[in-house]
Amino acid sequence: QVQLVESGGGLVQPGGSLRLSCAASGIIFSIYRMSWYRQAPGKQRELAATITSAGRTNYSESVKGRFTISRDNAKNTVFLQMNSLKPEDTAAYYCNAYDAIKGYWGQGTQVTVSS
């Protein structure tokens, strides 16, 4: 059974930082492209960052330069380091695993940026 479990969300002030984690089980983690998506209330889910099995990264323009995605294949975990957070970063953040055949989603973790 495939499981993706996100953690690390919470309430943070503008300009602050958070580090999200997504622990995967039930898949051969190292071959999967891992991504972080986010969905704000009333908006569509959007891609924030991706890291391929080879370690190549890609970011949306809205987070580029502030967020960093990384992975630890030994721990089957992907991370999202979020710095210089803005109120518009407030959203539920979801982990996604994709191997060109099938994709899996985590349950999400809430990030709220507010003073």
Place of tokens 């499981």: 3
Distance from C-alpha of 113 to C-alpha of 77, rounded to nearest angstrom: 24
- What's the whole-number mean pLDDT along residues 97-106? 94
The average pLDDT across 25-29 equals: 94
Confidence (pLDDT) at 115: 95
Residue 100 has a pLDDT of: 86
How do residues 60-100 score in pLDDT, each as one tens digit?
Answer: 999 999 999 999 999 999 999 999 999 999 999 999 999 98
Count of Cβ atoms closer than 10 Å to residue 30 Cβ? 10
Residue bearing the bigger pLDDT, 60 or 41: 60
| Spatial CB neighbours of 92, under 8 Å, sequence gap ≥ 6 | 38, 39, 40, 108, 109, 110, 111
Q: For residues 24 and 78, give the distance between their C-alpha atoms in angstroms, rounded to a whole number.
A: 8
Q: What is the pLDDT of residues 7-24, one digit of tens each?
A: 999 999 999 999 999 999
Nearest to 106 by CA among 34, 53, 17: 34
